[in-house]
Structure 1
Amino acid sequence: MRTIKLILEYDGTNYAGWQIQPNGVTIQQVVEEALATMLKGAVRVHSSGRTDAGVHARGMVAAFSADTGIPVRAFSDGLNALLPPDIVVVEAHEARPGFNPRFDATGKHYRYTIHRGARRSPLCRHYTWHVRGGLDLAAMERAAGCMVGEHDFASFRTTGCAARTTVRRIDSVGLAEEGDLLHIDVKGSGFLRNMVRIMAGTLVDVGRGRRSVGDVALLLTQPGEHAAGPTAPPQGLCLMEVYY
C-alpha cells in the first residue's frame, strides 16, 4: 500500500468548504471522485485541515493510500485532467507510510486580504474583503504584535469549535500593502475554528478606531471575558502553506 501526498491549489468560491457534507459540493468530494475514476475504486483523502465555504488555498496538503503501480506523476498530470478548472494538484509525492497531513504538520501560513479601494471591485470580490475608509496601519501593526506568541485564543473562535485546548502559538502576524490591497499574513502552530478570520476582523476594528491596542491585549490576557472583533468574510482567506 502506497501513501501519496498531494499539494492542492483551489478557488473555494463555488464550494461548501473542504470537508464532505450533505448540503453542498466540497473540495474533498471532487478530489475523491476524480481519484475514484483514476483508480477505479473509492478512495478516502485526508487533509491538513478544513477550509470553510468560500475560503481558498494555494498549499492545501492532502494524502491518500492506494494499492497501485501508477507513477507518482500521474497523480498530478493525470488527476488534473479530471479535475475542474478551479482545483489543481500543484505537486504529488510518495510519502512515508503512515504520513498524516494533519497530525504531522508543525505549522501553517494563512493570508487574509483586504481591498481598501474607494469603490468595490468586481474582480476582487471573490478574493478580498472590501473595507471602505482609511485604516490606521500603525495601530494595526501594534495590535498584531500582541497576538504573537503562545496565548489562550478562546476569544478568537466561533461556536462549534471542538478543540480540546484554546492555547495556540502564533509565530508572526505581518501586514503588507500591495496597492489597494492589504495582506495580513499569519503563521503559527495551529488555529481554532475561524481564528484567522476573527483576528483579521479584530485588526480591522483597530484600524477603524473602534477598539484600542489595549483591547486586543485584554482579549489574550483575559480570554473569554471580552468579545473579539467580527468574523471577517471567508473569501479574503487563503491557506498559503503547511509546514512539516
Structure 2
Amino acid sequence: MSRVLLPLVVAVMLLPIGVMLVVAAQPEGGGGEFSLFANITEMFSSGNFPVYFRNSLILSLGIGFLDVVFSGATGYALAMLRFPGSRALFALVVGTLALSPTVVMVPVYVIVHQLGWIDTYQGMIVPSMMSAFGVFLVRQFALSLPKELLLAARVDGAGEFRIFVTIALPLLRPALLTLFLLQFLAQWDNLLWPLLVANDPSLWPLPVGISQLQTEIGYDIRLMTTAALVTAVPPIALMFFLQRYYVAGLTLGGVKR
C-alpha cells in the first residue's frame, strides 16, 4: 500500500512546482517555444529583482550566521557551565518562546527607531541575531555531549574557550547547521519586519520586493511566476544539502547521556 500511496503523495506535493515551471516557461505573448531561461534572464534584467535577491541573501545569511554564533555559545554555556542563576536564566529564555513575535514588535521598533536604524541593514538584522529557540535547541543538544571528553580536556589544562572551539563546536555541528537552516528559511520568507523597518526600496528583500513587482513590470503572470520560482530555489537547495544535519540536529538533541 505504501508503495502506491507514497508516490501519489509526492506527486501531489510536486504538482504546484510543476505548474510554476510551466507558467514560468511560457514565452512572451503566449506564442513560440517554451523559454524558462529567457524569462529568468528578463526577470533579473527588469525592475529591482537583483537588488531584492541580494538583500534576501544578506539578511538570511547574516542573521543565520549570527544566530549560530550567539545562540550556540549561550546554549553551550547553559548546558555545560554551572553558575548562579543559570537555571532561572534558561527558564526565562524558554518562557520568551510563549510570546508572540507581534507582541514585542512595537517595543523593538521603538528601540530601533531611537537608535536611528530605520532604513539600515542593522535595523533588520540585529533584532533577530539571537533567538530563544536557538538557545534551547543548542542547549538540549549540548546535554548529550560526552562530559568525560570535556573533563579530560580540562584536566589537560585547556580553557573553556578552547574546549568550546576545538571540542564542542565540531560535536555541535548538526545542531548548529539545523539552527542555521531554520533561521535562513524563516528570514528568507520574512515579510513583516523588513516591511516595517525598510522604507527604502534598495533595502527590500524578496518578500517585500515581489509584492511591489506588479507596479514595476506590470501584471505579467509569466514574470511574476518566474520570480516566485527563482525565489524558491535557494531554500530548496540549502534544504537538500543540509537535510542529513537537519534530521540529526532534531533527533539527537533529545538524547541525554
| TM-score in same-fold range (> 0.5) | no
Of structures 1 and 2, the one scoring higher in RCO (CA 8 A, sep 6+) is 2
TM-score where L is the length of structure 2: 0.24
Greater share of helix: 2
Question: Highest Rg: 1 or 2?
Answer: 2
